[in-house]
Amino acid sequence: MGIMTVKEASQKWSVTPRRIGEYIREDRIDGAYKIGSAWVMPDDTQKPLNDKPGRKIKQASFTYIDLFAGIGGFHQAANSLGGKCLFACEIDPHAQRAYEANYGIVPYGDIATLNAAIVPDHDVLLAGFPCQAFSICGNMKGFDDTRGTLFFDVARILKEKKPKMCVLENVKQLSTHDGGNTLKTILKTLRDLGYSTHWRVLNALDYGLPQKRERTIIVGFHEVDVLFDFPKPTGAGDLKDILDPDDVVEPRFFASEHIQSRRRSMHTPKITPSIWHENKAGNISSYPYSCALRAGASYNYLLVNGVRRPTLRELLRLQGFPDTFEIVCNDSQTRKQAGNAVPVNVIKSVLQEVLRAWKDHGCETNRGRGSLNYTHWDKSPNAISLKSGG
């Protein structure tokens, strides 16, 4: 029996060397050992099974629901802390497909048609309600925009189910929109429902991700006033841990020679690796981190070292998704999903403090046991009510 290096295993199993490293750290490769600083394994080692539905998991320490779930940034954070997802809701069919493929849960579709009474009891409500109404990239209509009212769908579920905790996420501009009145309305609504609230603008760059992504985070505790503070910054992540070597990146991600030469003529980077950013005015800058990913334009305005666009996997890594996350949609949809996602590291850091504060207050979790997961929601009209509830 011979040995197999990480590079050889990567080629044999059609996964990245980074993923092989994760398999090793997860103790999922029997017989792996080090020769010097390099990991090797028996050459007949079989590829570990991916994390799929049905894999045995530990007893959950808390339960949660995932609203406006996207591809599961909240899910990634919560499950890494021992949570169990009982229900998810996401209207985009492509994001639904990615969510089901990775977590074995079929998200409910339009939250506006959801009867809040059918949502399982849960400990924590997680929701990244839609950004566009409050984003400088949108029309700044706020609550005058119909999407702005989707927060109140969150509120009616809180009213009906009364979860012990909630963590909400929105764009940075939520805190200043309409002179602060939009945020005041949200906080008042939560307080009227019995939640003590805390909010802060946090930057993914401060929590282990090399992406400048500022988001308003709102935390609520039901009918208790716990001692809570937001997590202390831990520093930016290293771009080197995100980027793959150019020689393993597919040619389709590289910019044309014309674009490369034009940008080199306009800008000289001070650091490598870096991500070059071209703004709407045509000005180019480069940093050892990414500017905020966007749903519709990240592919075009960001260039790695001025020569290529980030790969789909790199975009997901910039949001904190592990390489175990399975990409099942086309390039365009996956770029959109990455741009819309919540940064996993930020949510994990916040949720960790939320759970710690709740426990330190002497409160318990693990409310609700069964999950609500229909294979095809629209094919079960007799099983659930599709009228607005709460």
0.95 exceeded by pTM:
no
Least confident range of 42-51, 102-111, 335-344: 42-51
Residue 63, pLDDT above cutoff 80 = yes
Q: What is the DSSP letter of 216?
A: E
In this prediction, residue 365 carries a pLDDT of 73
The CA-atom distances, in angstroms, between 50 and each of 43, 102, 119 are: 20, 9, 29
Within 10 angstroms of residue 383's Cβ, the number of other Cβ atoms is 10
- Any residues with CB less than 8 A from the CB of 36 and at least 6 apart, and which? none
- Residues 292, 135: contact at Cβ < 8 Å? no
Tell me how far apart the alpha carbons of residues 18 and 282 are, in angstroms, rounded to a whole number.
Answer: 35
141: left (phi over 0), alpha (psi -120 to 50) or beta: alpha
Please list the active-site residues. 131
Residue 386, pLDDT above cutoff 70 = no
Helix (H, G, I), strand (E, B) or coil at 80: helix
Note the maximum CA span of the chain. Answer: 70
In this prediction, residue 174 carries a pLDDT of 87
In this prediction, residue 297 carries a pLDDT of 58
273 upstream amide cis, omega within 30 of 0: yes
- Residues 72, 103: contact at Cβ < 8 Å? yes
In this prediction, residue 390 carries a pLDDT of 30
How sure is the predictor about 299, in pLDDT bands with cuts at 50, 70 and 90? low
- As given in the structure block, the two tokens for residue 251 are 């040619």
In this prediction, residue 42 carries a pLDDT of 87
Least confident range of 37-46, 99-108, 133-142, 197-206: 133-142
Give percent of the chain above pLDDT 70.
Answer: 84
Q: Which of these, 355, 289, 348, lies nearest to 320 by C-alpha position?
A: 348
- As given in the structure block, the two tokens for residue 185 are 């309305």
In this prediction, residue 387 carries a pLDDT of 28
Q: Pairing state of beta strands 302-304 and 275-278?
A: antiparallel
Mean pLDDT of all residues in 216-235:
94
- Burial of residue 18 (CB within 10 Å: 0-12, 13-18, 19+) is middle
- Any residues with CB less than 8 A from the CB of 232 and at least 6 apart, and which? none
